[in-house]
Structure 1
Amino acid sequence: MDALTDARDLVAERFPDATWAMLTGSVLGPDRTAGSDLDIVVLRGEEEPGYRESLYFRGWPVELFVHTPARLAVSLERELAQRKPSTHRMIARGVPLLGEPGDLQVRCAGVLAAGPPPLSGAEGDRLRYGLTDLLDDHKHAVDVGERAVIAAAVWTESARVALAFAGRWLSSGKWLLRELRALDSDFADRWLAARDEPAAFAAEVLAKAGGPLFEGYRA
């Protein structure tokens, strides 16, 4: 199937008056799989509502990210605060389908390359406290099911803490692993190997972040 042609036809049908629209995501690159969908970012005027919608079009699963200028500005600002640049990444790596986004792609690419803002002391303390608490729960868990659930949380949070203290972007799902591999492929391999028994790996991450934090923590 021709992703670009089908995406252009969908945009022409659904958003003929859009300011611009672009196709983005794994369907455009080497990470494309049989399940890759059409991720389409659309910018419309302020008089139209913004929303996210999932649908099928010519056999494609489609994810629409429809923005107004104000909604897009808020989304980009919120992502910076959360250190999770999903929309920046989509725009920076997208292919225009309709109209032109001007210098927005260049600006989003620049944000991605520069990395997130410096981690504040309060943010670092919150991350250290959270992982300390999870490790304590894991250590003392007696219910097998609860221990398994806590272990999964410890494993995921250890990756987030490592990325945050390394000054890297955070993410979830497949992008969490991609960010870890971009940081250090050997470290990412050790993280994967620690999936079932993550406590020792998480303790190592916590030590590098400044150590456990419980007594005296206030938020």
Structure 2
Amino acid sequence: MGKLKSNPIETARKFVDSHFPSCQSAILAGSVVRGEETETSDLDVVIFDKNMSSSYRESVLFSKWPIEVFVHNLTSYKDFFQSDYERARPSMPRMVAEGIVLKDDGSLLSIKEEAKKLLEQGPKEWSQETINTKRYFITDLLDDFIGSSNRAEEIFIANELAALVSEFVLRTNRNWIGTSKWVFRSLSSYDEEFAVRFVAAFDDYYRTGEKVNIIKLVDEVLESHGGRLFSGFSLGKDDNDK
């Protein structure tokens, strides 16, 4: 971390005292809590203040630290917990569950327990219809990838294939998904060996243009759910239609 930056926990406490002196509780979350901070890391601070009429998010600079502050009253966070559950990306529950307590009037215990319970529960199980739909779109994308001879187009097809396949693996195994760096973290949390193979397959393609390892990986993922799906797939057709 940069030498000019102050201690993150002390800075976060001073920020809360300065900007939210009347809040009931506050949490420091994010990479600094997990020991994964970099030179460009910011501080994620979650505020609970009963006097706030609604939730909001704001980015500020404080003592040379970039701070992302997430402000809630004592009930508004529930909507975010539910939204994160529905999209299978538990950003807010994870921050609350893993975060370091900066201030607490006693109300945080139940909120933290609620977050931990949600994380342990995992996302909603996919229906067979959803699995088949995802299989079809992955199959269609894989066929485009195999058949393409345009390097520029292939790169973007590969990007989308990585996103769809990682989502498929995680959701069919009742695991949380993520975006950006959280894709790899989510895959590693599910199966570290698979995550390494997943990255190696795509890295090999990006470096050399060799597709075989991606194709093999995708077929392996689809195999336990019936393999590639094209013939017979239907979406939105009325049962009475001929």
AA aligned to 2:92 is T
Cα distance in 2 for residues equivalent to 1:209 and 1:59: 51
Count of residues in correspondence between the two structures = 219
Q: Which moved more, 1:146-155 or 1:10-19?
A: 10-19
Q: Given the two structures, how large is their TM-score scaled by the length of structure 1? A: 0.90
Residue 23 of structure 1 and its aligned partner are, at CA, apart by: 0.4
Q: Which moved more, 1:10-19 or 1:146-155?
A: 10-19
Secondary structure at 1:125's aligned position in 2? helix
Cα distance in 2 for residues equivalent to 1:210 and 1:71: 42
Residue 133 of structure 1 and its aligned partner are, at CA, apart by: 2.5
AA aligned to 1:156 is A
Name the CA shift for 1:179/1:211 in 2 (closer, same or farther; >3 Å): same
Q: Deviations along 1:84-110, whole A, 9 cap, x unmatched?
A: 111111000111222341311122112
Cα distance in 2 for residues equivalent to 1:84 and 1:2: 29
Q: Given the two structures, how large is their TM-score scaled by the length of structure 2? A: 0.82
Give the one of 35, 38, 58 matched to 2:43. 38
Once the two structures are superposed, the pairs formed by residues 87-102 of structure 1 within 5 Å of their partners are 87-99=92-104, 100=106, 101-102=108-109
Cα distance in 1 for residues equivalent to 2:39 and 2:190: 28
Residue 165 of structure 1 and its aligned partner are, at CA, apart by: 1.2
Once the two structures are superposed, the pairs formed by residues 176-215 of structure 1 within 5 Å of their partners are 176-195=183-202, 196=205, 197=211, 198-214=214-230, 215=232
Secondary structure at 2:109's aligned position in 1? coil
Residue 34 of structure 1 and its aligned partner are, at CA, apart by: 2.6
Greater RCO (Cα-Cα under 8 Å, separation 6 or more): 1
What does residue 19 of structure 2 align with? 14
Q: Which moved more, 1:117-126 or 1:179-188?
A: 117-126
What does residue 77 of structure 1 align with? 82
Give the one of 113, 117, 122 matched to 1:115. 122
Q: Is the 1:162–1:209 contact (alpha carbons within 8 Å) kept by the matching residues of 2?
A: no
Name the CA shift for 1:207/1:44 in 2 (closer, same or farther; >3 Å): same
Q: Which moved more, 1:133-142 or 1:55-64?
A: 133-142
Residue 129 of structure 1 and its aligned partner are, at CA, apart by: 2.6
Cα distance in 1 for residues equivalent to 2:173 and 2:138: 16
Q: Is the 2:23–2:50 contact (alpha carbons within 8 Å) kept by the matching residues of 1?
A: yes
Cα distance in 2 for residues equivalent to 1:104 and 1:17: 19
Q: Deviations along 1:131-186, whole A, 9 cap, x unmatched?
A: 12221222333432111110111122211111111121111222221221122221
What does residue 141 of structure 1 align with? 148
AA aligned to 1:200 is K
Cα distance in 2 for residues equivalent to 1:14 and 1:172: 30
Residue 211 of structure 1 and its aligned partner are, at CA, apart by: 2.2
Percent identity over the alignment is 31
Question: 2:160 matched to 1:153?
Answer: yes
Q: CA RMSD in A?
A: 2.0
In our comparison, the structure showing a higher alpha carbon Rg is: 2
**Structure 1 gap ranges (5+):** none
Q: Is the 2:25–2:49 contact (alpha carbons within 8 Å) kept by the matching residues of 1?
A: yes
**Structure 2 gap ranges (5+):** 1-5, 206-210, 237-242
Secondary structure at 1:66's aligned position in 2? strand
Cα distance in 2 for residues equivalent to 1:169 and 1:38: 23
Q: Which moved more, 1:139-148 or 1:182-191?
A: 139-148
